[in-house]
Amino acid sequence: MNSLKLLKIWWRISVLAAETELLTNWSGVLFIIGKIIRFVFYFAFLFTVLSGINNLAGFSREQVILFFLVFNLIDIATQGLFRGVYHFRPSVVSGNFDLDLLKPWPSFFRPIFGWADVLDFITLFFLTGYFLYFIFIHHFAVSPLSLVIFILMIANSLILGLAFHLLVCSFGILTLEVDYLVWLYRDLTGMARFPTDIYPRAVQNILTFAIPVVIVFSVPTKVLLGMLSWPMIFFFFFIGFFSLVLSVFFWKYALKRYSSASS
């Protein structure tokens, strides 16, 4: 099955998921309002924390806000794209995953992309607009090249997000447990709302190499600020590629040990 057909299927699944979320006229509106209120409260908290200091771990107030904006861009995008993971365990337990394996699409397509959240993309649209306004008003876009590398690093962050969620689904096949890993991921990613340089070096190393939260959320901002060398940039791209390959191999390993509901 080619990429265009997969894209059409993904879009159809996303529309059906949105219709489920919009069973009442006000449900979608209240969802978006809740997202906006949550974002505003985080912003208010951020300004309150920074109101009495000139910098945080060597970063100016505007740079800290930039880290916060980029974190939300990546977080909302990964949550919107890979929300199917939250529905994977019931699919395995009920036996519906058996039917997915019979369809002519990649075996991980439905577990990962089977419940995309279109409403998240609506909030992402407005957040992207404010982000572009913010970086240009504060002159963070130092060059067209830095913007291009920043976009590529955002793509690398999404690849790392895909790799992690595929790993979670693999563990879901082997152990029938998914939720605790997802919530562990959510708790750890919350540490990247601020520059991770505020943490001790040992914690930074864990968040960079053991659980690459830094690469997913902080590195794109540092690229935009011109704080990373070319060898480090290529290294982080390699980490993204290696993580995806590793997760695909582990997914295939898990499938070989999958016992269907009818077994």
Judge whether residue 39 has pLDDT over 70.
yes
The answer to whether position 262 is within a domain reads: no
The answer to whether position 145 is within a domain reads: yes
Three-state secondary structure string covering the chain: CCHHHHHHHHHHHHHHHHHHHCCCCCHHHHHHHHHHHHHHHHHHHHHHHHCCCCEECCEEHHHHHHHHHHHHHHHHHHHHHCHHHHHHHHHHHHCHHHHHHHCCCCCCHHHHHCCCCHHHHHHHHHHHHHHHHHHHHCCCCCCHHHHHHHHHHHHHHHHHHHHHHHHHHHHHHHHCCCHHHHHHHHHHHHHHCCCHHHCCHHHHHHHHHHCCHHHHHHHHHHHHCCCCCHHHHHHHHHHHHHHHHHHHHHHHHHHHCCCCCCC
The answer to whether position 110 is within a domain reads: yes
Tens digits of residue pLDDT in 205-259: 777 777 787 788 888 988 888 888 889 899 999 999 999 999 999 999 999 888 7
Tens digits of residue pLDDT in 82-122: 888 888 888 888 888 888 888 888 888 888 888 777 777 77
The answer to whether position 21 is within a domain reads: yes
The answer to whether position 159 is within a domain reads: yes
Domain containing 101 equals 3-256
Task: State residue 248's pLDDT score.
Answer: 94
What's the domain count of the chain? 1
The answer to whether position 209 is within a domain reads: yes
The answer to whether position 73 is within a domain reads: yes
The answer to whether position 261 is within a domain reads: no
